[in-house]
Amino acid sequence: MATILIHPDTQSAIRATAERLLQAVQGDHDAVLGLATGGTMEPVYHQLVRRADEARLSFAGVTTFNLDEYVGLAADHPQSYRSTMNRLLFDHVDIPRNQTYLPRGDAQDPSAEAIAYEAAIEAAGGIDLQLLGIGRNGHLGFNEPSSSLASRTRIKKLARSTLEANARFFGAGERMPTHAITMGIGTIMKARKLLMLAMGASKADAVAAALEGPVTAACPASILQFHPDVTVVLDQEAASCLK
């Protein structure tokens, strides 16, 4: 059963999401957090960094696993999710870098990397709290529509709509990766708690399909209906198609 929190404005949705991440670390200094990237998460990490600083909260015992990484991008590529996470969060809290995990986009054997990533999550004892955004097509991580609802970390081809949505992060003439290593839907569902944030009218249809539509691989986020502990934070616009 999902707890759905509809905030009057975007800023309060961002603050509420950051606060839940902060509380997860305050409640368990050795928490294992699952993290996400994308435009939605940027202000969340800004807020989390600010609040962690105010609260003098240490992340020294925290371990993180990001949902995904582009295949073909080295860690130091400015648009890799590793670089993005360093810039937004890891450079600003005291988490040891070797406790921050993302799939290696430039791994020689991306399939083996995916299997090793899944094993690393298991070895860390699983994810306590997984942060999620949602794609306009209902994707979670890079589990595009038609992804198996039982899938584990693996390579996925990015949908055309995802390529179009994410092209804004890449410069003119820069080739955008076409594949990603992503946690699977089954991997995400194993996290003990899920926290999804969606903001803006462009997400309203996907949010309604995920929360009120049939559970189907055509909308991977609809699987959230089967998770025992999921909180969905929305602003008014993202909630505008809910019945």
Nearer to ligand F6R, 57 or 134 (CB): 134
Given 139, 143, 166, 235, which residue is catalytic? 139
Pairing of strands 179-182, 154-157: antiparallel
Asked if 166 is an active-site residue, the reply is no
Query: Judged by CB, which is closer to ligand F6R: 61, or 145?
Result: 145
The verdict on whether 68 is a catalytic residue reads yes
- Residue 30 annotated as catalytic: no
CA distance 120 to 117: 5
| Rounded CA separation 113/70 (Å) | 12
Shortest separation between residue 55's beta carbon and ligand F6R, angstroms: 25
Nearer to ligand F6R, 104 or 139 (CB): 139
Comparing every residue's Cβ against ligand F6R, the nearest one is: 133
Q: Which positions touch ligand F6R (CB under 6 A)?
A: 36-40, 67-68, 133, 135, 139-141
Task: Give, as one character, the DSSP assignment of residue 174.
Answer: P
Catalytic entry in 7, 66, 69, 137: 137
Q: Alpha carbon 111 to chain centroid distance? A: 20
Q: Is 242 left (phi over 0), alpha (psi -120 to 50) or beta?
A: beta
3 state SS of 175: coil
Q: What sign results for the dihedral spanned by CA atoms 175, 74, 80, 232?
A: positive
Q: Please tell me the distance from the alpha carbon of residue 233 to that of residue 132, in angstroms, as a whole number.
A: 10
Q: Is 139 a catalytic residue?
A: yes
- Report the residue number, 27 or 39, with the smaller CB distance to ligand F6R: 39
> Of these residues, 7, 66, 68, 166, which one is catalytic?
68
Q: How far is the CB of 133 from ligand F6R (least distance, A)?
A: 2
User: Min. distance of Cβ 117 from ligand F6R in angstroms?
Assistant: 14
Q: How far is the CB of 155 from ligand F6R (least distance, A)?
A: 15
d(CA 160, CA 7): 31
Q: Which among 165, 141, 147 has a CA at the least distance from the CA of 69?
A: 141
Q: At closest approach, how far in Å is the CB of 56 from ligand F6R?
A: 28
Which C-beta is closer to ligand F6R: that of 24 or that of 44?
44
Catalytic residues: 68, 137, 139, 144
